[in-house]
Amino acid sequence: MKYKKITNIKQYNKYCDQHAKLFEKGKAKDKDEIELLEILIEEYENRVSKIQLKDFNPVELLKSMLVANNLTQVEFSKALNVSPQLINDILNFRRNISKSLVVKFANFFSMSQEAFSRPYKLHKKVVSIQKYPVHADEVLDTLKEGRRRANYKRRKKSSKKKVIKTETVLVKSVSTKNKKPKGRDDLKKISRIGKKMESILNAADIFTYAQLAKTSKKRIKEILANQGIATKRYNAEEWPKKAKEVLLTN
C-alpha cells in the first residue's frame, strides 16, 4: 500500500510535500491520490490537536504559533486588521481573547476554534513572552508546521478548480499576446519564478522586469491568491525587489 496512516511529523511532512507536488501538476489522473492524501493529513492534524493541544493555554499556544511562523506582533496584527496593542495585551495576559478573535486566530492558523477559546486567568503585571510554552517540547514540531498547514488548506480549497484555473490562465495569456510590450523579459530568471508562475504573471499583464518592479506586494498577493497559491511559499513579495536588482545590473 502506497500510503498509510500518519504516525509522526516526518511522515506528515512527506505527505504534505507530495500533496503540494501533485496539486502543482494539476492532472486529473491524480485526483484520487490527492483526495486520499487530504484525508490522511486532516485525520493526523485532528488527532494531534485533540491529544497534544487539549490542555494548552490559548495565550501560550498563540505565542508558539507566532514563533513557529516567524511572525512579529505587528505583522500578525496587520494580517488580522487589529491593533498591535490588542495583540500585545493578549500575549501579556492583560485581556481575554474575544469570540471574534478566536475565529480569526483559528482561521489564520488553520486550527480548531476550541484551541483558542479555553478560559485562562489574566495577570495584573506584565509578563515576558516566552519563546515556547511550558511543556511544549512534544508539540513544537507540530506547531512549526503552522505555515505548512495554512498553505495546504489554501491549496485544498482550490484543488477541485485547479485544472480549470490553469486552462483559464493559458487562454488569457494567449488573449493578451497582442498586448504584451516589445522586448518581453524572461521572468523565470528571478528566483522562485518557474514556467507556470511566469504564465500567471503574464495573464496579469506583467511581461517585463520593469512592470514587475512597479508591481506592489499587495498586487502580487492578489494575483497568486486568485490561483490558490500562498505568497510566502514562493517568496513572491521579494519579486519586485529582485526585478529592480536585475534592471540595475543590466
Cα(40)–Cα(36) distance, integer angstroms: 6
Predicted pLDDT of residue 188? 87
pTM of the model: 0.39
- Cell readout for 82 is 487589529
Predicted pLDDT of residue 45? 74
Predicted pLDDT of residue 178? 42
Domain range summary for the chain, segments of one domain joined by +: 59-131, 161-249
Predicted pLDDT of residue 120? 87
Q: How many helices (H) and strands (E) does the chain have?
A: 14, 0
**In the block, which residue shows the cell 512549526?**
144
DSSP 135-196: T-HHHHHHHTTHHHHHHHHHHHHHHTTHHHHHHHHHHHHHHTGGGSPSS---GGGSTT--HH
Cα(27)–Cα(89) distance, integer angstroms: 47
Torsions phi, psi for 129 (to 5 deg): -85, 115
What angle is formed at CA 214 by the lines to CA 223 and CA 218, rounded to 5 degrees?
40
- Per residue of the chain (250 residues), give pLDDT as tens: 589 988 877 888 888 888 888 877 878 898 889 889 888 888 887 776 665 566 678 898 888 788 767 788 998 999 899 999 999 999 999 999 999 999 999 888 777 788 888 888 888 655 444 444 434 444 444 444 554 555 666 666 665 554 444 444 444 444 444 455 567 899 988 877 878 888 899 999 999 999 999 998 888 888 888 887 776 667 788 899 888 888 888 7
Cα(120)–Cα(97) distance, integer angstroms: 10
Give the three-state DSSP class for 227.
coil
The CATH homologous superfamily for domain 59-131 is lambda repressor-like DNA-binding domains (1.10.260.40)
Residue type, 189: K
